[in-house]
Amino acid sequence: MAVDYTTHDGVAVITLNNPPVNGLGLSTRAGIVEGIERAQNDPAVKAIVLTGAGKAFSGGADITEFNTPKATQEPTLHTVIKTVEGSAKPVIAAIHSVAMGGGLELALGAHYRIAAPGAQIALPEVKLGILPGAGGTQRLPRAIGLEAALNMIVSGAPVMSEKLAHPGLAHPGLADSGLFDEVVEGDLAEAALAFARKVGAKAGPHPKVRDRKIEHPNAAGFIQFARNSVAAVAKNFPGPLKCIDAVEAGVQNGFDKGLAFERDCFIALVQTPESHALRHAFFGERAASKIPDVPSDTPVRDIKQVAVIGAGTMGGGIAMNFINAGIPVTLLETKQEALDRGVGTIRKNYEATVKKGKLKPEALEQRMALITPTLSYDDLKNADLIVEAVFEELGVKEQVFKRLDEVAKPGAILASNTSTLDVDKIAAFTKRPQDVVGMHFFSPANVMKLLEVVRGKDTAKDVLATVMKLAKKIKKTAVVSGVCDGFIGNRMIEQYIRQALFMLEEGALPAQVDKAIEKFGFAMGPFRMSDLAGNDIGWAIRKRRYQEHPDMHYSKIADRLCETGRFGQKTGGGWYDYKAGDRTAYPSKVVDEMITSFSKEANAERRKISDEEIVERLVFALVNEGAKILEEGIASKASDIDMVYLTGYGFPLYRGGPMLYADTVGLYNVERAIRRYASRPNGDAWQLAPSIAELAAKGRGFNG
Ligand code: 3HC
Ligand code: NAI
């Protein structure tokens, strides 16, 4: 039963009971209408309380029903809210924990609202590429004022319930708006009953938010200001501007016309690829934490104390993640100087955050106090998790893991941040391979959301469950990868870069390639990115590749660049020229000439390469390798690959990741393009993943 109905001495209590978050799916909606009608028909009932069981009042419309017949089946959310609002007996929404989206819209249909403090109140629809579609754009401005409402609607950000109380009622001082009639410190259920009895004794009609006026000295001016600001940041997403249009429609034409306009906008937006992509990311993020053969109730190990080995670029950033979450970190280096440098860099990072006003000065010292710098392995014996981030050499990793095996307490998790080495080999340096796992952070590790959790052949299930839970605590999007060269992300990017380099040989120039893929939506094209990261890093990896895969065909054009010492921004030049103190990439005459003469030497006929070809070759190279990664079970689902690319590689969010994008294009078309490129010069780099052809033949995609 999705809704419970009880009566308490003249008050009917309708409790949404649809775990986990009381989503307003069809059966919940029907249950609410049934409850309201039952209460109308019971002469003993004088007032109705609407509340939620478990961990939310309501998380809103059931997103899984979108674009299915259930979404439009009666009673729709509109009908539910109309029924609530039209009730002759007063309805009191009693809100705790979360009232979001349709949940808040439902509450806005009630005659009165009371809330527990600390409840998150939001209209987050815009984050799913839509707008509040059940009256939110009309009622919220009437409840809390145009400016506050528009901010909430356009940002989707939650506001704490105590900030939204009626002036002069509970929490004086905090109260600055009129959403809640009371904010209740004690027992919410008891307070709701008392409130209901009080208003139930009053004669109707009871107040409706829809009847309130939107007061603003210059509504048109404010709306125009909001539109200009939003247009500048919402470039590829239609949702935010539609939110403004809908609010404006209500301001100009009144409630009913505004509501009808809002509804039309909702229907249009929910079908856009952008909304599809954002919902895919919402569910993909949650799905990533579920590992098929690791049950959700797997017991986890307690992580109270962390150690990080190596205080370089990665080690420092990794340590900051734990410190930010209040977990003490012991930081180990081999030399005092390196240790001091590492700790100094962490302090500098925090100082910069303080300067930006994002961290209080006293918090800086509190965070620094959580670091214990050391040169001695003896200081690691209490650590529950040890993350190694030393030089990327198997010999060095061997020394470290052998030593860790001697000193770490039984049950401690031993993690490596290696980006290219075999986690199984690293695990084999210890007598406890079940406790070893890869934790592949991305640079800067304190900023980037992605964490690839590399599952070795012996990694214990509770180790994986622990690391996934911990990742959530340190606010990372964790995706499990099996052991292979480059794991999910870097293995795919190698094919993308391979194509980028071939295209230089065949006729393109760096600026053209970057521009085309940036127009597609990537944050940065491959050549600007490589100049930023340092071209020498890729060079070192390629040198290893040439030895490991002597038969594999790579373009040597990037090696030629590196031989001239053009390592990127840090040397003042790479694929582009740079001016001192300026990160702008200026196309380089020298490099462009180098590329042209390289083509000549390689007997490659230079031709005009279209932007469409550039995008296809880069993106389909990712897709093809992604498909192989799925075939091999390195990733367990397509959405995991998309999460890696959305959170770690700057893939455009509004396209939902490479695998969803391929589904959008259609795998039949992806297959045809790959076969076409395979038949051209450098075509040997395209080995079509069999699953693409198989899925295309069935008319299916990676995501079903
Ligand atoms: N519909 C369907 N499922 C939902 C959901 C929703 N609105 N909100 C959450 N869920 C599911 C999640 O997918 C997850 O499922 P899983 O356990 O199978 O992975 C489960 O509920 C728990 O979610 P979280 O892991 O996110 O739980 P938290 O406790 O961390 O957070 C929350 C709870 C703050 C409610 C968060 O889930 C959230 O932000 N949800 C989305 C809220 C939202 O966007 N609401 C607007 C919906 S659109 C709408 O209302 C349209 C209307 O205007 C017409
Ligand atoms: P770095 O060179 O900046 O830092 C390595 C640190 O380890 C140095 O401070 C060094 O003094 C210390 N160190 C070396 N041997 C040690 C030992 N035996 N005991 C203790 N400390 C020791 O290197 P970086 O970039 O931080 O890389 C570290 C690891 O992270 C490597 O495995 C690398 O592949 C991986 N990685 C690097 C990324 C990057 O973008 N730099 C991204 C993801 C992973």
Spell out the residues 6+ positions from residue 350 whose beta carbon is closer than 8 angstroms to its own.
320, 359, 364, 367, 368
| Nearest to 426, CA basis, from 452, 450, 455, 384 | 455
Q: How many CB atoms lie within 10 A of CB 245?
A: 16
Q: Which residue has the CA at smallest separation from atom 10 of ligand 1?
A: 21
Tell me, what amino acid is at 523? A
603: left (phi over 0), alpha (psi -120 to 50) or beta: left
- Before 550, cis peptide (omega within 30)? no
For tokens 């003249």, the residue is 10
What spacing in Å lies between the alpha carbon of 391 and ligand 2's midpoint?
4
105 is known as an active-site residue: yes
What spacing in Å lies between the alpha carbon of 443 and ligand 1's midpoint?
30
Q: How many CB atoms lie within 10 A of CB 288?
A: 26
Query: In this structure, are residues 201 and 619 in contact, taking their beta carbons and an 8 Å threshold?
Result: no
Of 2-6, 89-93, 176-180, 348-352, minimum mean pLDDT range: 176-180
Inform me whether the pLDDT recorded for 170 exceeds 70.
no
* Ligand of minimum distance to the alpha carbon of 309: 2
Measure the CA–CA gap between 57 and 18, rounded to whole angstroms: 10
Cβ of 126 less than 6 Å from ligand 1: no
SS3 183: strand
Inform me whether the pLDDT recorded for 99 exceeds 50.
yes
pLDDT classification of 251: cutoffs 50, 70, 90: very high
What spacing in Å lies between the alpha carbon of 102 and ligand 1's midpoint?
11
Spell out the residues 6+ positions from residue 18 whose beta carbon is closer than 8 angstroms to its own.
2, 3, 25, 27, 28
For tokens 């929490």, the residue is 171
Ligand 1 atom with least separation from CA of 102: 50
pLDDT classification of 678: cutoffs 50, 70, 90: very high
| Nearest to 185, CA basis, from 174, 163, 197, 170 | 170
**Residue 59 tokens, joined:** 């998380």
Mean residue pLDDT across the chain: 95
Inform me whether the pLDDT recorded for 89 exceeds 80.
yes
pLDDT of residue 175: 36
What spacing in Å lies between the alpha carbon of 59 and ligand 1's midpoint?
5
What domains can you pick out in the chain, each with its CATH number?
A: 3-268 (3.90.226.10), 306-481 (3.40.50.720), 489-697 (1.10.1040.50)
| Nearest to 430, CA basis, from 417, 415, 440 | 415
Query: In this structure, are residues 37 and 73 in contact, taking their beta carbons and an 8 Å threshold?
Result: no
CA distances, 212 to each of 208, 318, 378 (Å): 7, 51, 68
Inform me whether the pLDDT recorded for 172 exceeds 50.
no
Tens-place pLDDT, residues 382-429: 999 999 999 999 999 999 999 999 999 999 999 999 998 999 999 999
Ligand 1 atom with least separation from CA of 136: 53
Cβ of 156 less than 6 Å from ligand 1: no
Residue to mutate (ligand 1; options 18, 21, 247, 643; most atoms within 8 A of CB): 21
Q: Which residue has the CA at smallest separation from atom 31 of ligand 2?
A: 392
Q: Average pLDDT in the 26-37 region?
A: 98
Query: In this structure, are residues 32 and 80 in contact, taking their beta carbons and an 8 Å threshold?
Result: yes
For tokens 């404006």, the residue is 248
Of 463-472, 545-554, 622-631, minimum mean pLDDT range: 545-554
Q: Average pLDDT in the 132-145 region?
A: 96
Cβ of 63 less than 6 Å from ligand 1: yes
Inform me whether the pLDDT recorded for 173 exceeds 70.
no
pLDDT of residue 167: 61
Of 34, 65, 85, 105, which is the active-site residue? 105
Query: In this structure, are residues 448 and 648 in contact, taking their beta carbons and an 8 Å threshold?
Result: yes
Of 37, 65, 74, 125, which is the active-site residue? 125
What spacing in Å lies between the alpha carbon of 418 and ligand 2's midpoint?
9
What spacing in Å lies between the alpha carbon of 22 and ligand 1's midpoint?
9
Inform me whether the pLDDT recorded for 177 exceeds 80.
no
Ligand 1 atom with least separation from CA of 56: 35
Tens-place pLDDT, residues 301-342: 999 999 999 999 999 999 999 999 999 999 999 999 999 999
pLDDT of residue 545: 86
Cβ of 674 less than 6 Å from ligand 1: no
Cβ of 609 less than 6 Å from ligand 1: no
126: left (phi over 0), alpha (psi -120 to 50) or beta: alpha
What spacing in Å lies between the alpha carbon of 86 and ligand 1's midpoint?
28
Tens-place pLDDT, residues 269-298: 999 999 999 999 999 999 999 999 999 999
SS3 478: strand
- This prediction's pTM: 0.94
* Ligand of minimum distance to the alpha carbon of 338: 2
Q: For the stretch 469-493, what's the b/e string if a residue is b when 16 or more beta carbons lie within 10 angstroms of its beta carbon?
A: ebbeebebbbbbbbbbebbbbbbbb
Q: What is the 3-state secondary structure (H, E, C) of 531-582?
A: HHHCHHHHHHHHHHHHHHCCCCCCCCHHHHHHHCCCCEHHHCECCEECCCCC
Q: Which residue has the CA at smallest separation from atom 1 of ligand 2?
A: 312
671 is known as an active-site residue: no
Measure the CA–CA gap between 548 and 544, rounded to whole angstroms: 6
Residues with CB under 6 A from ligand 2: 309-315, 332-334, 338, 389-392, 396, 399-400, 417-419, 440-443
Query: How much of the chain, in percent, has pLDDT values that exceed 90?
Result: 93
Q: Average pLDDT in the 648-655 region?
A: 96
Could you give the residue ranges of the DSSP H alpha helices within 234-332? 239-253, 255-269, 273-288, 313-324
Ligand 2 atom with least separation from CA of 420: 34
Inform me whether the pLDDT recorded for 171 exceeds 60.
no
Q: What's the number of CA atoms in the CB half-sphere (13 Å) around residue 47?
A: 26
Q: Average pLDDT in the 197-221 region?
A: 93
Query: In this structure, are residues 660 and 277 in contact, taking their beta carbons and an 8 Å threshold?
Result: yes
Phi and psi at residue 540, to the nearest 5°: -60, -40
- What residues pair up with 667 in beta bridges, in sequence order? none
CA distances, 626 to each of 200, 280, 481, 487, 691 (Å): 61, 17, 12, 11, 10
Q: For the stretch 188-199, what's the b/e string if a residue is b when 16 or more beta carbons lie within 10 angstroms of its beta carbon?
A: bbebbbebbeeb
**Residue 409 tokens, joined:** 């307490």
Measure the CA–CA gap between 601 and 560, rounded to whole angstroms: 12
